[in-house]
């Protein structure tokens, strides 16, 4: 029998008999590796670990540590889930069952309108583990399209038949483990025995092929692990994430609230949240003054005509809050969903010269958008929110420079607030569906290449998404992850050649002719609501000192020292240090506990010792007693800490 040459990732070349499997390769390296190998990358393609290799190849063995290994594991788990469901509920139809970032899902349709509930999870989990223990091999088999069609026709699974329609004869494979056979490209792990821990997370409705007009299937989300310990760790992690949830912390720290009477998705900012928000605004205002922005203020409503001009009415009119009418004349006004049309009118309020460009108009503008009820989520997805908006009107030759300056500003914001894990998403239009967008091809191409170039020059870590642009231009969005690993868009920079056109904005060039300016929309925070939500989760409610609603708490040991405590508090207030004096009739332990729970950065404890020596005892949140200090030294230290802001 002839041998083949296998090249491993470290460059070593080993010889094996033709038809060797990746498992056998692993075995030849070590028994331990053999037990852990889930799949293998053969010449860049992911293969089953038990698939024979017939020719010389580069082989990389994949284990749980590799993303591809995990994905294979989870995708195989999806088949196991399906097998379990089929054995419990025969005649179930199956949609698709892919691996996702953590775990996998399977879209299913249970027979005769049977509905699943959370109570059924345990039975399914038990069945899965039972089937896993049989160590059934995942067996790959090539089938002809006709055979595949007749298999699923007989089974009555119209979803698989629909999937088959899109597949080419000769490239169709089935995988079978135990009693379950599925249409699948693979690859899979060697056998079900690798799956040791199973947890069905939740269920949801999901439209078949993501199409609202199609039938809604039941989607089961689940996660599996090769060791029970890992499942436990994962569940602990989820618990930790829940503790950071901004909705929970927002309530506990009294930052914001919602009221059914006011309306869903309309946040009410409580005093502490307002303080925090105002600090953020102040910080950005200062930075914007330095960067040459000019403040403006515009009303919360605008004539419908304004949005007809801007194109927003055509694009979003029917999905917006509907116009409000004046009682006498029946004039129509929209709650403003955007600040840009208003800002365009400010630009247009007088003739502009090329010498005054770029003109940067900034406004913390509150906008209202109708979001579908199912989409509302804490502060991250609301119906009324305030953008730290600005529009830069500039000459075409200034675009790149201005765009770069905006990126610098966004990065300053992220840096000041400790966001290090972000990606920049370049959102371009969908080249397949150009009619969704306004404007000329030529402008789009110019705008898109400008963004790609400048992002590269600034050294941003980028991903490019087609079809994610605004209808008027491409965007550069800054994405960060929240405590639960969900991605949120914060800062955004958008290039726009359309609005200046629609509003017929002009400036007089050095040639004494009228020219059209280019517009850049930008918001470093995105919206204050979402930003504060993500920030809250990011720092688990332990806000940076300069932002904390209460920076200090003065805690007298007993009533006898209230007067001294009051004098301390007054001096701190005069030094612009925010905080409160805890004069409750409680023991000092209690006051400390309450202040710790409220995540107050500094606790200043005053009693007999302190009053006599004219000092304070400093306790830092989460760090315990820091010892005595004079008030002057404390204030100096404090001001040093918040200096850059």
Q: Which of 597, 630, 633, 636 binds RNA (CB under 7 A)?
A: 597
Q: Residue 61 Cβ, how far from RNA at the closest point, in Å? A: 32
CA dihedral 479, 483, 486, 490 (to 10 degrees): -30
Of the candidates 230, 371, 465, 506, which one interacts with RNA according to CB under 7 A?
371
Indicate whether 586 belongs to the interface with RNA (CB under 7 A).
Answer: yes
Least separation in angstroms between CB 76 and RNA: 21
Write out the binding residues for RNA, residues 185-204 only, by CB under 7 A.
Answer: 202-204
Task: Please report whether residue 181 would count as binding RNA according to CB under 7 A.
Answer: no
Contact 531, 480 (CB under 8 A): no
Measured from the CB atom, is 318 or 461 closer to RNA? 318
Question: According to the binding rule CB under 7 A, does residue 532 interact with RNA?
Answer: no
Total of chain residues touching RNA, rule CB under 7 A:
71
Q: Of 204 and 637, which has the nearer Cβ to RNA?
A: 204
Minimum gap (Å) between residue 99 Cβ and RNA: 14
The verdict on whether omega for the bond into residue 187 sits within 30 degrees of 0, i.e. cis, is yes
Beta strand pairing status for 579-581 and 552-556? parallel
* Residue recorded with tokens 């000041």: 416
- Please, which contacts does 305-308 make with residues 24 or more away whose CB atoms are closer than 8 Å? 306/334, 306/341, 306/342, 306/345, 307/334, 307/337, 307/341
C-alpha triplet 328, 334, 339: angle, nearest 5°: 140
Which residue matches tokens 């989607």? 219
* One of 176, 216, 462, 464 touching RNA (CB under 7 A): 216
Selected binder of RNA within 625, 630, 632, 639 (CB under 7 A): 625
Give the count of beta carbons closer than 10 Å to the beta carbon of residue 288: 18
Q: Which of 147, 354, 596, 641 binds RNA (CB under 7 A)?
A: 596
Joined tokens for residue 205: 């409705």
CB of 37 to RNA, least distance (A): 31
State the nearest-atom distance from the C-beta of 475 to RNA, in Å.
8
**587 interacts with RNA by CB under 7 A:** yes
Answer yes or no whether residue 108 interacts with RNA by CB under 7 A: no
Helix axes 271-290, 528-538, angle to 10 degrees: 110
Q: What would the two tokens of residue 282 be? A: 């102040």
Contacting RNA (CB under 7 A), which of 90, 166, 210, 431? 210
205 binds RNA (CB under 7 A): yes
Residue 557 interacting with RNA (CB under 7 A): yes
Minimum CB separation of residue 149 from RNA in Å reads: 27
Q: Least distance from C-beta 558 to RNA, angstroms?
A: 3
Q: Does 349 bind RNA (CB under 7 A)?
A: no
Residues assigned a catalytic role? 340, 369, 387, 389, 391, 475, 521
Residue 560 engages RNA in binding (rule: CB under 7 A): yes
Q: For RNA, which is the closer residue by CB, 76 or 615?
A: 615
Cα–Cα nearest to 339, from 543, 494, 225, 217: 494
Q: How far apart are CA 352 and CA 346, in angstroms?
A: 11
**Which residue, 2 or 373, is less far from RNA as judged by CB?**
373
Q: Establish if 559 lies at the interface with RNA (CB under 7 A).
A: yes
Cβ nearer to RNA, comparing 35 with 486: 486
d(CA 98, CA 94): 12
Unique residue bearing structure tokens 């075995």: 27
Number of Cβ within a 10 Å radius of residue 210: 7
Q: Binders of RNA among 237-296, rule CB under 7 A?
A: 247, 251, 258, 260, 263-265
Other CB atoms closer than 10 Å to residue 294's CB: what's the count? 13
Distance between terminal CA atoms of the chain? 74
- Among the listed ranges 126-134, 292-300, 541-549, 583-591, the one in contact with RNA (CB under 7 A) is 583-591
Strands 616-620 and 624-629: antiparallel
Residue 471 sits in the site that holds RNA (CB under 7 A): yes
């Amino acid at each position: 029998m002839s041998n083949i040459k296998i090249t491993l990732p470290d460059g070593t070349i080993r010889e094996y008999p033709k038809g060797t499997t990746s498992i056998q390769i692993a075995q030849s390296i070590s028994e331990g590796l053999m037990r852990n190998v889930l799949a293998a990358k053969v010449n860049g393609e992911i293969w089953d670990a038990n698939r024979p290799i017939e020719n010389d190849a580069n082989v990389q063995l994949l284990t749980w540590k590799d993303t591809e290994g995990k994905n294979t594991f989870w995708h195989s788990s999806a088949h196991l889930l399906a097998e379990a469901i089929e054995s419990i509920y025969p005649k179930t139809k199956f949609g698709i069952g892919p691996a996702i970032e953590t775990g996998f899902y399977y879209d299913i349709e249970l027979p005769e309108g049977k509905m699943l509930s959370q109570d059924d999870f345990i039975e399914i989990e038990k069945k899965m583990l039972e089937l896993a223990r049989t160590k059934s091999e995942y067996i790959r088999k090539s089938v002809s399209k006709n055979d595949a069609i007749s298999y699923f026709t007989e089974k009555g699974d119209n979803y698989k038949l629909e999937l088959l329609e899109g597949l080419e004869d000769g490239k169709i494979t089935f995988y079978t483990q135990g009693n379950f056979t599925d249409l699948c490209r693979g690859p899979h792990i060697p056998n079900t025995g690798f799956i040791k821990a199973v947890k069905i997370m939740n269920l949801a409705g999901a439209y078949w092929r993501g199409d609202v007009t199609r039938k809604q299937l039941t989607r089961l989300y689940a996660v599996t692990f090769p060791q029970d310990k890992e499942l436990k760790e994962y569940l602990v992690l989820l618990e930790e994430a829940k503790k950071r949830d901004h909705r929970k912390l927002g309530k506990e720290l009294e930052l914001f609230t919602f009221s059914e009477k006011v309306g869903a998705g309309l946040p009410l900012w409580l005093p502490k949240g307002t303080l925090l928000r105002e600090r953020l605004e102040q910080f950005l205002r200062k930075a914007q003054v330095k960067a040459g922005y000019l403040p403006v203020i515009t009303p919360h409503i605008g004539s419908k005509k304004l949005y007809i001009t801007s194109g927003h009415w055509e694009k979003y009119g029917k999905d917006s809050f509907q116009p409000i009418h004046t009682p006498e004349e029946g004039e129509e006004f929209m709650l403003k969903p955007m600040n840009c049309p208003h800002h365009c009118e400010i630009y247009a309020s007088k003739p502009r010269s090329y010498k005054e460009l770029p003109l940067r108009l900034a406004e913390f503008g509150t906008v209202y958008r109708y979001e579908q009820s199912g989409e509302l989520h804490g502060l991250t997805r609301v119906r009324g929110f305030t953008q730290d908006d600005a529009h830069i009107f500039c000459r075409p030759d200034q675009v790149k420079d201005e765009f770069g300056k905006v990126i610098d500003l966004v990065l300053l914001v992220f840096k000041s607030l400790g966001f290090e894990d972000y990606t920049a998403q370049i959102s371009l239009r969908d080249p397949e569906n150009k009619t969704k967008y306004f404007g000329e091809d030529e402008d789009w191409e110019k705008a898109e290449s400008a963004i790609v170039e400048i992002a590269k020059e600034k050294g941003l870590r980028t991903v490019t998404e087609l079809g994610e642009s605004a209808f008027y231009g491409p965007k550069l969005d800054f994405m960060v992850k929240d405590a639960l690993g969900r991605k949120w868009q914060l800062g955004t920079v958008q290039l726009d050649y359309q609005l200046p056109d629609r509003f017929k904005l002009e400036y007089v060039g050095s040639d004494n002719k009228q020219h059209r300016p280019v517009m850049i929309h930008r918001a470093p925070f995105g919206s204050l609501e979402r930003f504060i939500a993500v920030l809250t989760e990011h720092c688990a409610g332990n806000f940076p000192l300069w932002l904390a609603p209460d920076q200090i708490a003065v805690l007298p040991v007993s009533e006898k020292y209230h007067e001294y405590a009051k004098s301390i508090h007054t001096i701190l207030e005069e030094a612009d240090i925010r905080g409160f004096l805890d004069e409750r009739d409680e023991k000092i332990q209690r006051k400390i506990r309450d202040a710790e729970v409220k995540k107050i950065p500094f606790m200043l404890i005053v009693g007999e010792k302190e009053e006599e020596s004219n000092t304070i005892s400093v306790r830092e949140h989460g760090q315990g007693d820091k010892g005595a200090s004079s008030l002057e030294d404390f204030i100096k230290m404090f001001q040093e800490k918040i200096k850059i802001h």
